[in-house]
Structure formats: C-alpha cells, structure tokens
Structure 1
C-alpha cells in the first residue's frame, strides 16, 4: 500500500468536516448504478451528491483524523484474517487450493427503514418456500393446478422421490434459508436468487463482523448496529425444540471435510455453536437411528446441520459414489428419528427459473402479494417465454435451470453478436436447460483502495433462521459479496471479496453473546465434546508425526554436524549414523554409508530432506519434509480441535521448511550450513508445536491418544537407536557416546549429573532407567501406562490390559542391564539390555496395532486414516 498517498491528498485538500474528507477522496459510482455512499437525487433529478445519512454518521464517528489511520487499519485487518486462518478456496485462483479470505475495510450500511422492508420480505418468502416444500412432497397441488411446471420439479435432478410423504419435525423443512438481494437504482431491494440445500456464509459473516467492529469500535457502537448472537442462539433453541430428544438432543454439524472450499466456516461454526463437527464416516445407522462413532462406542445423534448438498447425503438412495454421506440416513429421517437441517429435497427451490412463478404461488398458498420483488425471470422451457426473451438476451443474464448441470452463467452485455447467436441456438435446441433473468445494475458500495474510496458492485446475502416450528427470524446482517472493480458479477468463487453488513436499529441493541453464556452444570456435562473415532485416529497420528519429525530433525542435525566437522569422525560413529539414517528414511537404502563416503552420504541426506512431491525421491524417502507434510495433513483433519495459533505454527513449519529446501535445490553452491539452518528453524517451530500440544489442548481422550501416539513413536525410535548404538559399538567411542546422548536430547542433563563420565552404567541410568527424564525409556513406558489407564476409565476398559503388555520398569535392574559379556569379535555386548530394547520396540509396535484395532478399525473404509 502507498501510505504516503492519503497524506498527500490531505495536504492538497482542506475540507471542513469528515464527510467532506470522504467526498473529496471518493470516486462516484458508475453510471446507472445506485451509489450507496451518496444521497440519491430527488424525483426530479435534482439534489443528491452529498453523503447519505448512514455514511455521514460513519465518517463523523471516525473523525477527520481517522482517514490517516485507514491504511493502518487495513493492514491490521489483513493481519487478523491471516492470523485467524480464515481461508476460502477460489476456483479461479490457480496459485493453490486456499487463499486468505478477502474482506474489505468498510461495511455495507443498511438503515432501519430499508431493513424493515428486507426483513418482512425475507420472512414472507421463507414461509412461502417452506409451504412449497410441504406441497411438493405432499399433496402436490401446485403441480395439479399448473402453478409450477412438472419439468421444474419432478424433472429436476434434485427432486427426491424418496422424500414423498415425509413430514419433518415441526413441519419445518427449511431451518436455514439464504436470499441474495440487490439494491436497485430505484432504491428497492430485489431478490436475485435463493439457497436452501446448504447455504454458506453464516460463519464468514460472523468472522467479518468481529473483524470489522474491532477496526471501528466507536462507529459500531454509536450507530446502533444490531448484534448477531441472539439469532444464532435462536437457531439452536429452535432445533432443540423440534428435535426428537428436545432439550437433551445431541446436535452435530456435517461437513464434507477439510478439502471443501468453505471448511473454515464449518469448523468455525461448530466451535462457535458448541457442536460436534463430523464427516460422513463418523456416523453410522443402526435400527433406523443415527449414531456417532466415538472412543466410548456409539452415541446417538438427534439433529444434524448439514453443509453438503442433498445428492451426497446417502449413497444407498442417492449418489452411490458418495463418500461424504451416511448409508441409511434417509431411512432414519423417514422413521422420524432425526431432525436434518435442512430437510433433503429442496434443490428445485434453488433454480433461478422458480423466481418467475413465485408471485402466483404466493397468492395461492399465502393469499399475499410478494413484498420483495424478484428480477424478471423467464424459464425457456415455456415456448412463449423463449420467444419473448430471445430478443432481450443482450440486456439479460443467461443461467442454467439446473445448477448441477455444469452449464455456465453468461452476461449478455459481455457477448458479441456471434456469441449471442450461438447462445440462442443452444437455447432453442435445449430450452428446458436455460433460464434468462433481466440484468439490473447492482448498487455500488464504497471500499478502501489504499488511497481513495472506490465503488464496487455488491450483492447482499440475508439469512432466515428457524427459531421454532414453522417460525423464523431474519439475521440482522448478512454476507456482502463485492465484484472486482469493473466486473458485473459478485462471486467469491470467481475472485470477488466480501464486506460486513451493518444493520442499524431504531430500538435497543441486543447484547446477547454465545461466548459469555454460563450454562448450568447439567448443560456443561451434556456439552462435553465426544471424541469421534476419526478424530481420535488423526490425533493419534498427529502425535506420532510430531514426534517422528522431531526425531528425524535431531538425527539429521547430529549427522550433518559430524560429517561437516573438521576432525574426521570415528568409523563406529559413522556406521551408527548411517544405520540410524536408513532406519529413519533420511537416505535411500542403496546410498553408500558415511563410513564409506562421508561426502556422498551428506549430499544424499540433504537432497532427501524435503523432496518435491512427484519427484523420484519423494516416493522413496520419508524424511523431514514428508513427516511435516503428514503432520499437517493429520492436523487438517482435526483442525476444529486445535487453537488457531497451533494450526498456524503447523502451517508455518511445513511451508518454511519446504521453502528453505526448495531454495537449496536451486542453489548449486548450497552446503551443510544452509541445511543446518533450515533444520534449526524447523526444530524451533516444532518445539512451539509441542508446547501447544502440551499446554493448549484440553486433556480429553483425544489428547490422551495424541500423547500415546507421541510416546509410542518415541519408544520405537529411541529403543532402536540405542540398539543400533550397541550393535555398531559407537557407545565405546567418545563422539559416538555423545551423539547417542544428543539424540535422546539429554546432553545437558547427562553432563550435569555425570560430568565427563562416559561409561555404560551412567548411560543406562539416564537414558533407560531415569523416570525423571522425559527422554528415558522408563519415563516413556511409565507415561504410556498412565495415559492408557485414564483411557480405560472413560473409553474402553481394554486399554488397561494393553498397558500390561508393555515392559514394566519396576522390574528393570540397573546392575543387570549394565552387565556385559565379551563377544566373539572381542567387543563387549549387553545381552540383557539388548533384549530389553528389542522388547520395548516390539511392544510399542504391537500397542499401536492394538489401539488401531480397538479404537479405529470399526470405522468403515471411507475413514481417512493418515497413518503410515
């Protein structure tokens, strides 16, 4: 941003008030578009041009000095979005799967009089759509009386015959409905479209509100902007009131998973509303009831808020290739044992073609004229409509009748004569597939460009939320989507951005907060979050990959430091380093050992630290980079259970290490120093990740399994490393002895206790026997037994039996483990110690398999296990 530009503009201008400042820095809206910033001209075309009342109030609250702060506030806003990890998958963005959520600094402001009209119109349309659902899956009077063409309903791929005759709880089909509204040049609000299957935006608009209100706290408070929390609470209360179990209902939020473009919102909403975030394979159907797979067994689910379209819900009755839904879910619904928000089957209501038929349907079902008008819409399946609309294509928008058809939306103004003729031909050949809607210039709201207030076209998405049986309220706000400057379409999937929506009220501002509520003891007990089998498995592997990454980094650092040293290292140490590096997949199996060629071994180790996916090395070596990517993948599966700082650390560690290794790969002169610097940075970040896992996570069974995973990995790695040290006799070498102690991360402790002693008794005492050393084998086994004991109390009693299969440190005797014999090659050997190390390694591997069998394997094959 150009921070000097506003100051230079301020120097050139000398307005008398904040409103004058705003006008002097603003660019007028494009011709034909309503300017939200300025007063509209009078009916006679006179007057106007000054600030509208809401914006005059806004700038009065930030003051003239506030303009100099706009760039700083904009930077703070972007930093907050990045720190909070707010992301959205933009299909048009080829740079990667995710990008930070795009949020403008200025809100869109809706005055009370406008909002009253919007609220009344949205409430009416919600009642109408719910009544239509009841009719379409009930008596079908709308079809019998030709108020709706059958092709738009029964011919729609989203019409679900399996829902015919179903009556949802409370006769409420639609619990969350979204309407896209445009503010026309005439000052009226027009309905452009509606979303009923799984409307997105409720989480993003909440994040927008929190972020923008922090940037302008005085304006937010002084302008009496209505709050949002009461509407979210009403939604939850309404679902509980209608769910089969009433107030005691368990509610879950069903997500397609972390690769969905709006997954951030799913996790955010689940956390905000206190719901369990589940994927399809977390759920199972038994005896026409829905259950959640948890560590403690199957727990009933009574209400489900879905965030995926209907066709994916049940592979038995809908799309057979769906891996996102739950087999048998529709049967549970038909049996009346589940509230599903929204009820399946509403896809036909999302068709743009429906808008043209709603006025007559409203008169028939409600006996009312629509309070909010729709843009003129023609379904081309009617021959008269097709003939009427073909000459109007240049000033219209061509839309697919069935959104799932894959057809694109086309703006008539952007088509040349040849393209218009081609579209006319397609529509004539397949008229049912096309709907035409008149084009209206969208109102333009001010945005901050860094130097000026620039107008951008806006669409406002407003939500109606069910607060009881056949009762709704309109959320006082919405999600504003902004079109890129100079474009006609406001779409987040096409690279648009968003803005907050401030709805002003003339009454009292509601100060309800879901973040500050104090539920009763009973409610607290009920809200205790279950640990799903999927989450448990991914937490388990999150722990294993965190530990595995730490160990591989430490071993790589030890190896490179010794290989780069000025003094040649001993052969036993080189042999141990080679064997340990191969065991931990730091080098390929056929690479010559360090004792044969230190240079080749070092270059191979550095080349394999983080091979790019798709390269030959990437499929053969599971080095540091692989472990960090696996750590991130496991964390992504349980992102809703991690603090934002924890997730940011994981992303940063993987990204920075990959970047450092990519830089090394393109630099022919890179050496050990650069590799060690990259490893050190990753090591420090991993230490922070370990701290987040230790001190920033609730000590539930999910965390216990994460800890069990870490300590299983630690027991396997350290037992094997010490066994290799005995096998290659590096324990007799001073440098080898120090390298082993360093791998156990116990150098400072060892020298504090034993000074310069380098005998096996001291080594075994600290690295095997010492229960105060978190890197000793006894401490690891003791911790594993403790974690399994607590798991057995709250999850599976069998965990206590698993603990008994681990070696018992109480039976370990230092004198016996330190006893050595002379081997045939003349070297000393510690048979009892070697046997214990083999037992530790084998029992840790067996424990991992037993935990998988006991806690995870009952999940079906769709379960996304990240273990390797």
Structure 2
C-alpha cells in the first residue's frame, strides 16, 4: 500500500505545497501533536514501521502550524541545498569505523527541519533532567564513598562491583567542589501518550555538545524569521554557565587552565571535539600532550611544562591511565588517577561512572531517588528488568516478543535486539541464552518512538527520533539544562535511531513564553580596561605537526614542480641533451617520483615517463605506509598533518587542503590509459594541484597568527626548501647539466625564478649569473641565501618565546654573508666547482642537523626532565 498524500490543514497549498505521510500507527506524531491511531488495516509490520497505513487527515500541532506560517513562498529544496552546502563548507564530519565505502570521514547528516518542543513540554523535561543529574551525582558520591546503596540492597552488588567500569582506585576520592558529574546526558523518547521518558543516560564522556551547536547554527540560518518569531531559546548561556561553574570550583578562577582531552583525529566524533574546544576557548589536547609530575598534571608546550587545572574528557574511563587501568592504552596519561586522588585536578566527568550507563540501572532508580533525594522521579524511565534477579527473570521471559534485549555490561559483540523482529525459533534461542547467563542481560519494554517530520524532495516523511538533552553544572551541586539538544533520527522505515547505523540528526528548538536569553560567550564590555586573555599555548604535539605541515606543504610543491619539469622535458620529440636527461632522471629518482627499479630516462624516456605518471597518486584506500613518496603521498601526508592541528587552521585553509588532495587523486584516477594523452592529462592535474598549493601557501603566510607554532611551520618549510634546492643544484653539477642551455633553463625553472632571471640577465647563460640569483640573492625567496636568512630570523624569534638554545641553532647555520660569487663561480679543475659543491653539502648537512635539534628541543622534551620543578 502506498503512502497517502495528506494536506497540511490550515495552510494555503499555493504558499506551501507540501504533503506528509502520517507517523506509523501507535507512534506519537510530532507534526500533528498526537499518536497515530492503530487501525485494523495497519497490521503488517512494514506498515507499522514506515507509516504507510492509511490514516485520516488531522489538524497540525500548533507549534508546527506557526513554523510553516513563517515560510511564505520560500523553497524548502533551496534551503536544504544551502544547508548541505554549509555543512560541507564547514567540514562537519562523523567518522564511521565500519563504513569502508565512505572512507574514514563522512559528512555529518543533518535534516532541514528541527524538532520543536513547546514551553509546556520543556518545563517538564527541564525539571526531570535536573533531578536526574542530582540523583546520578549523589549515586556516584555514594558508590565511591559510604556505599549505602549496596548495603541496603537498593542496588545489586553485581551491577556495580561486578561492572568492569567500576573503578576501585577511585574509592573514597572527593572531587574538587564536590561535584562528580558536571555534564550529564539523557536520551529521551516521546511516547504515544505524549509523555517524555528516559531511555538511557551517558555520564562517562557524553557526545553531542558540539554537534548540537553546529546543528543550531546551520538550521537557524535557513529559517531566520521563524527562529526569531517563534522565540526559540538560545544556547550560549548554558555553555558559559558550564565554564563559569568549572572556574568557580578552582582556586585559580578565571586564570585556571582548562583543557579538553580527545582521543585524537581518528575518533568518530573528533570534529566536535575540535569545534567545542574552539567555541569554549579551551586547549584541545591528546594524552601525549600531558604529563604528570609531583601528583600534578602538566601540558607539554614549547615554553615547557604548564599546569592544567581542569580537564573536560571525551575519553572513556578505561583509557585514561595505563598505569592503573588498561595497560595497553596510548590515549591516556600515566599517573592521571593519582592526580585525581591528590585533589589536584578537576575533571568533567570524574572517572568511574560507567556503571551508571548500564540500562539495567533504570529499573532501580525510583527507589534510589526516594532514598537519596526523598522524592519520586519526575521523568519516568522505560520499564526495565535486570535478569540477574530471579523474580525479574521469571516475569520477563514471557514478554520477550514485545520487549528489547540489551547487554547489562559493555559488550561490543552484542547489539540491541528487538523482540518483535525475532521469529519463534530465535526467541527460544534468546530465552535460553538469558536463562544460562541472566546477569549479562537486561530487558526493557518497547516504546514506540515519536516520529518527527523530515524533508525529502517528495514531501515530509516521518522518522523515529530520540532527543539527547544535557544537564550542565553551573556551580557546586547545581545544574541547568541546555535548552535544546541533539536529535537522532532513525533511517527511514527503521525504528532504532543510531548514527553508526546510518541515522541522521536534527536540531531541537525549545520555545519559550518568556524573554529569549541573549547571553553571549563573549565577555561583556564593562568600559574598564582589563588584562587580555593569555595567548593560546602551543603544545609540543601541535608544534611537531605544524612543523611537518610546513615540510609536507613545501615537499608537495617541490614534487609537483619536479614532476612538471620532467614530463615537459621528456614528452617532446627531442627529450634533450644527455646531461639534462641524466639530471632529470637522478632528480626524479632521489625525490621518489619513480620507483627504484624503473630504468633511467637515459635508457628509455617513454618507460620512465609512464612510470612517473603511474606513481603520481596512490590507489584509493592505500595507507600512507604502503605508498611511494610521490606527489599523491605528499598531499595525503600534508592532509594528515593538518588533521592533527585542525583546530588551529581556518575553515578555508582546511578546505583547500582537502580539496587539493581529493582533486588530485580524482584527476589521477581519470588519467587515460593512452600514453599519447596521459602526459597531457597528468600535466593538467599537476597544474591544478600547483595552483591549489599556492593558495595553501597563501593561507599559511597571510592567515595564520605568527606565534611559535607558525614559526615552526615556517622553519619546516625552509628546511625542506633548503635541502631540495641545494640537492638539485648539486645533482646539476654532478651530471654537468648546467653546461648547455636546456639544462641551464631547467634549473632556473626548478627554482621558480625564470621570469626574474630573464628580466635581470637578458641573454646571459653563465654560472656567475645563475649563482648570483639562485644562491646569493637575499631578495629571491628561492635562493639559498634567502632561505638561510629566513631560517635564522625564525629561530632567533623562536628563541625569544621558547628556548635560548634556538639562538645557538641560528648561529650554527651557514653564514651566507661570507659567500663570495667569484669563488663559487670559479670552475676549478675539470669544471667541478669545488667551492660551490662544498657550500651545497654544508647547506644539506645543516638542514639535517637543524631538523634533528628542533625535534630534540621542542617535541621530545628529552633535555628537560625536571622542568616541572621550575613552575
């Protein structure tokens, strides 16, 4: 049966020509504000799932009628296109490990239409969520303190002490300020009776605070008049209250250093880690950025070790400390739990809350609330049975066909099982498993999720939704609910809302009858001059990645220019004089543009050229370790280094890097197999990459703050340039390619100095002119003297803010001021230019030494084992 077209009552079809299928029978329909009746026709499971059973037309929910009234004649298709374009431009991603077809990252899935919550519904949600936050925090204090819940059998010991996430190293710990859980997330479902129920809770490292903020910004821009006219409550006040609440519990107050701990770029929600850190003004750190000294936590920066006073963690507890938890963890910080036990760190949230996330806990919360808070729960939970209790097991086994089976403890091998999806044989098998190991399973009543309208080109389609809301601590033992949330939508026709299973998201608009809170994250202007915020520290890890970002940017530019030069010289009817071909062959081989076993260009220019084209870009999905070090490798390595410092790059900069790597890979994949045309197509691909790399260079030069991190990026670029140009010139001398006009011109082209050379020296083609421009000219950014001068200047400036040892590194560089053109241009015996050859060898050696010393001084901290004692 096909879905009927139901007009949206009260709207002029000429204004908004939309139709909507009804919600599935038995589900609350957000668009119409009531549950869809179950009719005798709606008996087939697929009809229940996708809402294709025929239903009578009903009046719109008043909040949705108000929303559509603001749309006038605007085109929703155009708004949706704008929304998706904005998400792509902003680089919003969600990493899915199992989705190999989509690559590591896929675009964040966001629906155009928000979920709208009335003021009346929100008042009930808000009161219930605050109560839950208080209750869960009190439970943490009890489970790691007096443990009265266990002594009075209000909680079975197996659910707590038998849970792998119960951390005995945290027993009798008291968090600074007395609050265990500054951030609590609850998953809510809107039932058929119109009541909101709690279906789950997240306390270890709740995700969504960054994504919901991006959702709000993206969707509100598509409906600015509706957003303002409907009095949608803003979000900034809650984020600001969270930060002020953390600062209020620290002796350092506003001067406290607060960091956000992330597992790194390969985590599924890394985008929001970087996004949230930037929005809140926090330092984004990985475990390797931190170290413990004297029971205190420090951040490893270019300036040394700096104290960290509070940590917002986005890392599950078991990975936090390899000394006391998982020994194989490379994501945490050795000794971190000892810092917490010493009371020297405020953490949001404190470790040990994993048992609170067990679905089995929901069945025990009503009695626990009466005991700890002296009040009943304001928000109901789903009916839940922990099968480890014999009475609950007997009661629930007959209910399996209409229930949901969940693991009691973390179990990656078991997904949620819907009883209604099982046949009789499968139900018997599950009943046997539960009977054999009852404590491992929890059974919950099945609640039909409410269905909210989503936009499609064919009209509005209802999809099942779960709303995640957040309680944020704004002071000791005080929480406020962020007025909105992250809406997760099930794929069309399915009933489980999970991002890992192909679900998507939506914004949540909470309407208010009172004034809209217009608090900003910006500090208010008081008219009184205050001390500016200190500069953001450059962590050692960020510094190292910026250093390599600079090196790979320069290396990519150089490899593109070399590949262009080789292809142009070898693709003609006359490939050039033998010394030139030998130089090109050596240059390409040394810079890994061809594989080592490829015959030289002197033997077979055609084979050499085709091999170079074949090696330009790796096949899609090839890991970096399995590639040749050609153009495509350098672009992927450039992107990888940039991803590690994503929070330090502008959106345009990051987009350029992604586009360059992606476009080049696509262009190379489309290269013709016909050798006659492949060279021309490869040159087009290389030219496109060259133009985009020039834009990346512009972003690095003109659009990055010149702090110590940028100076290391620049140093990395100049080290790479010094080695590449000096080595190319040395190869030219060794292959004697500079003695003929083609080789001479090729060298000038490689140094990107053709226009300048011809304008300055006209028809001269002698070594003195070449060396004057490419070696000695301190106004030419491609000359060795300019590169050394810039390196020295960057190092001396770096020494002012980091280590005085950088001054010694600057002074150890070759002194280009002492170079003399007459000596360098003197051919000597057999025209071997001995003085020039020695100078080039010195430059190459100096670059290698400088790279090693930079690593030792700023990235490993190997030379300052007791730095923390000086802080």
Kept in 1: contact 2:856–2:862 (CA 8 A): no
Kept in 1: contact 2:8–2:19 (CA 8 A): no
Q: CA-to-partner distance for each residue in 1:643-702, whole Å, 9 max, x for gaps?
A: 111111111111222222223386677521111111111111111111111111111111
Q: In the alignment, which residue of structure 2 is the partner of 1:831?
A: 834
Q: In the alignment, which residue of structure 2 is the partner of 1:609?
A: 616
Equivalent in 840, 843, 849 of residue 840 of structure 1: 843
Kept in 2: contact 1:632–1:651 (CA 8 A): yes
Kept in 2: contact 1:380–1:436 (CA 8 A): yes
Task: State the SS of the aligned residue for 2:325.
Answer: coil
Kept in 2: contact 1:267–1:640 (CA 8 A): yes
1:614-633 correspondence to structure 2 within 5 Å: 619=626, 621-633=628-640
Kept in 2: contact 1:41–1:49 (CA 8 A): no
Task: State the SS of the aligned residue for 2:671.
Answer: helix
**Pairing 1:72–2:75 present:** no
Q: CA-to-partner distance for each residue in 1:226-248, whole Å, 9 max, x for gaps?
A: 00001000000011111342222
13 and 306 in structure 1: CA distance in 2 versus 1, 3 angstrom threshold = closer
**Pairing 1:27–2:21 present:** yes
Q: In the alignment, which residue of structure 2 is the partner of 1:507?
A: 514
Q: CA-to-partner distance for each residue in 1:612-653, whole Å, 9 max, x for gaps?
A: 379899847311111111111111111111111111111111
1:554-633 correspondence to structure 2 within 5 Å: 554-612=561-619, 619=626, 621-633=628-640
Task: State the SS of the aligned residue for 2:298.
Answer: strand
CA distance in 2, matches of 1:194, 1:852: 44
Q: CA-to-partner distance for each residue in 1:237-273, whole Å, 9 max, x for gaps?
A: 0111113422221000000000000000000001101
406 and 175 in structure 1: CA distance in 2 versus 1, 3 angstrom threshold = farther
Q: CA-to-partner distance for each residue in 1:479-517, whole Å, 9 max, x for gaps?
A: 000011110100111110000000001111111222576
Kept in 2: contact 1:562–1:569 (CA 8 A): yes
Equivalent in 56, 63, 66 of residue 54 of structure 1: 63
1:671-750 correspondence to structure 2 within 5 Å: 671-750=678-757
Alpha-carbon offset, residue 742 of structure 1: 0.5
Kept in 1: contact 2:491–2:502 (CA 8 A): yes
Q: In the alignment, which residue of structure 1 is the partner of 2:44?
A: none
Kept in 1: contact 2:627–2:633 (CA 8 A): no
Alpha-carbon offset, residue 403 of structure 1: 2.4
CA distance in 2, matches of 1:546, 1:696: 15
1:844-859 correspondence to structure 2 within 5 Å: 844-858=847-861
619 and 255 in structure 1: CA distance in 2 versus 1, 3 angstrom threshold = closer
Task: State the SS of the aligned residue for 1:143.
Answer: helix
CA distance in 1, matches of 2:199, 2:631: 51
87 and 579 in structure 1: CA distance in 2 versus 1, 3 angstrom threshold = same
CA distance in 1, matches of 2:625, 2:338: 45
CA distance in 1, matches of 2:343, 2:14: 61
548 and 396 in structure 1: CA distance in 2 versus 1, 3 angstrom threshold = same
Alpha-carbon offset, residue 38 of structure 1: 0.9
Please identify, of 245-254 and 186-195, the stretch whose mean Cα deviation from structure 2 is larger.
Answer: 245-254
CA distance in 2, matches of 1:449, 1:19: 17
Q: In the alignment, which residue of structure 2 is the partner of 1:162?
A: 169
47 and 625 in structure 1: CA distance in 2 versus 1, 3 angstrom threshold = closer
Q: In the alignment, which residue of structure 1 is the partner of 2:94?
A: 88
Task: State the SS of the aligned residue for 1:705.
Answer: helix
Task: State the SS of the aligned residue for 1:421.
Answer: helix
Q: In the alignment, which residue of structure 2 is the partner of 1:402?
A: 409
CA distance in 1, matches of 2:449, 2:218: 25
Alpha-carbon offset, residue 289 of structure 1: 0.2
CA distance in 1, matches of 2:365, 2:193: 22
1:190-229 correspondence to structure 2 within 5 Å: 190-229=197-236
CA distance in 1, matches of 2:368, 2:139: 8
Alpha-carbon offset, residue 565 of structure 1: 1.6
CA distance in 1, matches of 2:843, 2:699: 28
Task: State the SS of the aligned residue for 1:481.
Answer: strand
Q: CA-to-partner distance for each residue in 1:304-339, whole Å, 9 max, x for gaps?
A: 000010000000000000000000000000001000
Q: In the alignment, which residue of structure 2 is the partner of 1:261?
A: 268
Unaligned runs of 5+ in 2: 40-54, 864-871
Q: CA-to-partner distance for each residue in 1:740-784, whole Å, 9 max, x for gaps?
A: 000000111111111121111111111111111110111100000
CA distance in 1, matches of 2:772, 2:539: 40
Task: State the SS of the aligned residue for 2:385.
Answer: strand
Kept in 2: contact 1:93–1:495 (CA 8 A): no
Task: State the SS of the aligned residue for 1:524.
Answer: coil
Kept in 1: contact 2:405–2:443 (CA 8 A): yes
Please identify, of 570-579 and 397-406, the stretch whose mean Cα deviation from structure 2 is larger.
Answer: 397-406
659 and 633 in structure 1: CA distance in 2 versus 1, 3 angstrom threshold = same
TM-score if structure 2 supplies the norm length? 0.94
CA distance in 1, matches of 2:124, 2:784: 70
TM-score if structure 1 supplies the norm length? 0.94
Kept in 2: contact 1:333–1:339 (CA 8 A): yes
Q: In the alignment, which residue of structure 2 is the partner of 1:38?
A: 32
Q: CA-to-partner distance for each residue in 1:95-114, whole Å, 9 max, x for gaps?
A: 12211000000000001000
Kept in 1: contact 2:233–2:509 (CA 8 A): yes
Kept in 2: contact 1:54–1:109 (CA 8 A): yes
1:405-424 correspondence to structure 2 within 5 Å: 406-424=413-431
**Pairing 1:312–2:316 present:** no
Q: In the alignment, which residue of structure 2 is the partner of 1:4?
A: none
CA distance in 2, matches of 1:811, 1:541: 30
407 and 632 in structure 1: CA distance in 2 versus 1, 3 angstrom threshold = same
Kept in 1: contact 2:26–2:36 (CA 8 A): no
Q: CA-to-partner distance for each residue in 1:535-579, whole Å, 9 max, x for gaps?
A: 111110111111011101101100100101233401111111111
Unaligned runs of 5+ in 1: 1-8, 861-868
Q: CA-to-partner distance for each residue in 1:56-97, whole Å, 9 max, x for gaps?
A: 11011112x12xx10011011111111111011235533122
CA distance in 1, matches of 2:447, 2:626: 54
- CA RMSD of the aligned region, Å? 2.3
619 and 307 in structure 1: CA distance in 2 versus 1, 3 angstrom threshold = closer
CA distance in 1, matches of 2:121, 2:77: 31
CA distance in 1, matches of 2:811, 2:469: 58
CA distance in 1, matches of 2:672, 2:421: 46
Task: State the SS of the aligned residue for 2:721.
Answer: helix
